Structure 1
Amino acid sequence: MDKLNFVAILLVALFTAVAFYVDLRSGKLPNWLTMPALLIGLLFHAAVSGWGGLQHSLLGAVVGFALLFVLFIIGGGGGGDVKFMAALGAWFGPVLIVIVFIVSAVLALVITVAIFVGKVMFGAKTDKEEPAETGDSNRKKLDMARQTLPYGVPVCLASWVFLLLKLVALLQTPLENG
């Protein structure tokens, strides 16, 4: 197994696991997490593959940044999400970060619909909910169902799918060569 690829998988898995937890708990992806991951991704690829690796990593960071910056401008995400995708782009490169973006968008839609349907079907209640008119009660249910999912969560899930596929490919490589 290529030890450097394994190290990269472990680093990205650790980064995304922390991001998943932090984003789920706080709804934010802080600079203390995203900026070191971006820098380490750029340095890793430069050290492993030289100038070509750095160019590939930089292009991935720019593509990841651009994908989420457009959503940020129209109010569809936060600055932490933009920097998170740039950091992942530095690790994944330009093609894979586009695929992660697409898969995460699909996952975000599926998860959001599932949450919405679940909350509406099972009559989600808040701690502050007081008996009110039927119209007010239905409005509260819809407001709760509209709560947003932090975008880092589906991005991490999509990333883990690709990390798992890469790990499986790395583990099979010695078997094919042996």
Structure 2
Amino acid sequence: MNTPAVALAAVFVLFALTGAGYDIMTRRIPNWLNAAFLVAGLVLVTALSGWEVGLSGLGHFVGALIVAMIIFALKMWGGGDAKFYAASAAWFPVTEALGLFVSIAISGLIVAIAWLIIFKVSGRKVAKGEKVMPYGVAIAMGGILTMLSNPTLGLF
């Protein structure tokens, strides 16, 4: 097991769970958290893997931010979710963009089903204008799955 890579994964998981927790509790992911997540990812990935991988992570961040802002403009998720997704993308080289996106999409489906079950069981109704599902949870889940399935970590 590669100790620096495991430490990198642990820091990623900590940021991801913090963002998911904020989204569940407040339906917001703070800008300071997204900024710290982005900077930590770029710095740690570059330190661990070299400037080429760090630069690829920066490119992934830019591409993810563009995609995320389109999704935000379509009102499919909030601005905090868009920034959270882009910040998480910075931790991965651009070659993992599709894998991260698919992992987050599948996680989104799982979270949506769980959220519907929770609402059905509790009998709670959605208030007009209320954000129903904390998509930051799906972004965190998908990112964690992508991080932990990284062969460099040797966990799976």
1:114-153 alignment, distance < 5 Å: 114-116=114-116, 119-120=119-120, 122=121, 124-125=123-124, 141=125, 143=126, 148-153=132-137
Report the residue type matching 1:156 in the other structure: A
- How far the C-alpha of 1:115 sits from its partner, in A, is 3.3
Single out whichever of 93-102 and 71-80 deviates more from structure 2.
93-102
Alignment partners' CA distance in 1, 2:100 and 2:53: 20
Deviation at 1:14, TM superposition (A): 0.7
Counterpart of 1:73 in structure 2 is 73
1:164 aligns with 2:148: yes
Rg comparison, structure with higher value = 1
- The Cα shift of 1:114 comes to 4.4
1:30 aligns with 2:14: no
| Native 8 Å contact 1:104 1:155 kept in 2 | yes
Q: Secondary structure at the match of 1:91?
A: coil
Q: Which residue of 2 aligns with 1:19?
A: 19
Between Structure 1 and Structure 2, which shows a larger proportion of helix residues? Answer: 1
What TM-score do the two structures reach when normalised by structure 1? 0.73
Structure 1 residues 13 and 111, CA, compared in 2 at 3 Å: closer, same or farther?
A: closer
Corresponding letter in the other structure for 1:58: L
- The structure showing larger relative contact order (alpha-carbon pairs under 8 Å, at least 6 residues apart) is 2
- Match status 1:93 vs 2:102: no
**Relative to structure 1, is the Cα distance of residues 67 and 98 closer, same or farther in structure 2, using a 3 angstrom cutoff?**
farther
Aligned residues: 154
1:45 is aligned to 2:45: yes
The residue type paired with residue 102 of structure 1 is V
Cα-to-partner distance string for 1:62-111 (whole Å, 9 max, x where unaligned): 12212211111111222211211121111022233432222222332343
The residue type paired with residue 109 of structure 2 is L
- The 1-side partners of 2:148 and 2:43 are apart by 23
Note the residue ranges of structure 1 that are not aligned, 5 or more in a row. 126-140, 173-178
Q: Taking every aligned residue pair, what percent have the same amino acid on both sides?
A: 26
- Specify the SS of the correspondent of 1:81: helix
Is 1:82 the counterpart of 2:45? The answer is no
Residue 119 of structure 1, CA deviation: 3.6
TM-score, structure 2 as length reference: 0.82
* 5+ residue gaps, structure 2: none
